[in-house]
Structure 1
Amino acid sequence: MYDFVLRGTLVLPDRTVQGGWIAVSGEKIAAIGEGVPPAASVFRDVGDALVLPGFVDGQTHATSYKGLPGFAATSRSALAGGITTMVDMPYDNPDPLNTVDRFDLKVAAVNEHSSCDVALYATIAPGQGTAEMARLAAKGAVAFKISSMESHPVRFPRLPANDMFDILEASVETGLPVGLHNEDQEIVRGMIARFKSQNRITPEWHEPSRPVVAEMAATANFLELGAATGAHVHIVHISHPRGYDLVSRYREEGVRATAELCVHYLHFDAARDIGRLGARMKVSPPIRPGVLDDLWHRLDEGKVDFISTDHSSWPIDNKYTPSIFDAGAGIPGLETLAPSFYTDLKAKGRAPERIMAEYLSEKPARFFGLWPQKGALTIGADADMAVMTPGSYRFDASRTFDGLNWSPYDGETFDARVTMTVLRGNIVWDGKDVLAQPGAGRFIARLPDAKPVV
Structure 2
Amino acid sequence: MSSSSVDLLIKGDLVLSDRVLKESCVGVVAGKIVGIYAVEQAPAATETIDATGKLVFPGMVDAHVHSYSNLHEQFENSTAAAAAGGVTTIIEMPYDQGAPVFTPEIYREKIGWIAEKAKVDVALLATLKKEGNVEAIAPLAELGACGFKLSAFETDPYRFPRIDDNVLLEVLPELAKTGLTVGFHAENDVIIEALISRYREQGKTFPKAHCETRPPISETLAVGKLLEFAYWTGAALHIYHASHPRCIDMIDWYRQQGVNVSVETCPHYLILTEDDMAEKKAFAKINPPMRSAEAVAGMWQALLDGRIDWVASDHAPWPLEKKNNPDIFSNGSGAPGVESILPLLFSEGVVKRGLGVVRLAQLLALRPAERFKLAPRKGAISVGADADFAILDPTAEWVFDAAATQSSAKWSPYDGMRVQGKVVRTVLRGKTIFADGKVLAKGGDGCYVPAV
RMSD: 1.2
**Does the aligned pair in 2 maintain the 1:395–1:413 contact within 8 Å?**
yes
Q: Which structure 1 residue ranges, 4+ long, deviate > 4 Å from structure 2?
A: none
Matches within 5 A, 1:319-330: 319-330=323-334
Q: Secondary structure at the match of 2:100?
A: coil
Which deviates further from its counterpart, 406-415 or 297-306?
297-306
User: Within the alignment, does 1:281 sit opposite 2:284 as a pair?
Assistant: yes
Residue number in structure 1 paired with 2:66: 61
Where 2:439 maps in the other structure, the secondary structure is: coil
State the distance in 1 between where 2:280 and 2:398 align: 21
Q: Identify which of 78, 85, 102 aligns with 2:82.
A: 78
**1:235-246 alignment runs, 5 A limit:** 235-246=239-250
Mapped partners of 1:106, 1:349: distance in 2:
40
Write the deviation string for residues 28-84 of structure 1: whole angstroms up to 9, x where unpaired.
0011111233211111101110000000000000111117x8111110000000000
Q: Given the alignment of the two structures, is residue 172 of structure 1 paired with residue 168 of structure 2, yes or no?
A: no
The one-letter amino acid paired with 2:282 is A
Q: Any idea what SS the aligned residue of 1:388 has? A: strand
Q: Does 1:303 align with 2:307?
A: yes
The 5-angstrom pairing of residues 248-259 of structure 1 reads: 248-259=252-263
Cα distance between partner residues in 2 of 1:386 and 1:352: 16
SS at match of 1:122: coil
Matches within 5 A, 1:87-166: 87-166=91-170
**Identical pairs, percent:** 36
Q: TM-score, normalised by structure 2?
A: 0.96
TM superposition shift of 1:14: 2.5
Partner of 2:229: 225
Answer yes or no: is the 8 Å Cα contact 1:143–1:179 preserved in 2: yes
Any residues of structure 2 matched to 1:266-277 within 5 Å, and which? 266-271=270-275, 273-277=276-280
1:48 to 53, 63, 73: 53
Q: Quick check: 1:418–1:431 contact (8 Å CA) kept in 2?
A: no
Q: How many Å separate the matches in 2 of 1:210 and 1:351? A: 30
Which deviations, in whole Å up to 9, do the C-alpha atoms of 1:193-223 show, x marking residues without a partner?
1111111001011001011111111111111
Q: Which moved more, 1:319-328 or 1:202-211?
A: 319-328
Counterpart residue type for residue 172 of structure 1: A
Aligned length: 445
What's the offset of the Cα at 1:432?
A: 1.3
Structure 2, unaligned stretches of length 5 or more?
none
Deviations 1:155-182 (A, max 9, x none): 1111111112212111111001111111
Alpha-carbon separation, structure 2, partners of 1:322 and 1:124: 35
CA contact (8 A) 1:342 1:352 kept: no
- 253-262 vs 88-97, greater mean Cα deviation: 253-262
Q: CA deviation at 1:153?
A: 2.4
What is the TM-score with the length of structure 1 in the denominator? Answer: 0.96
Do 2:153 and 2:187's aligned partners in 1 also have CA atoms closer than 8 Å?
Answer: yes
**What is the CA distance between 1:352 and its match in structure 2?**
4.2
Question: How far apart are 1:351 and its partner, in Å?
Answer: 4.1
**Map 1:330-341 → 2, pairs under 5 A:** 330-341=334-345
Which segments of 5 or more consecutive residues in structure 1 lack a partner in the other structure? 448-454
Q: Are 2:203 and 1:199 equivalent residues in the alignment?
A: yes
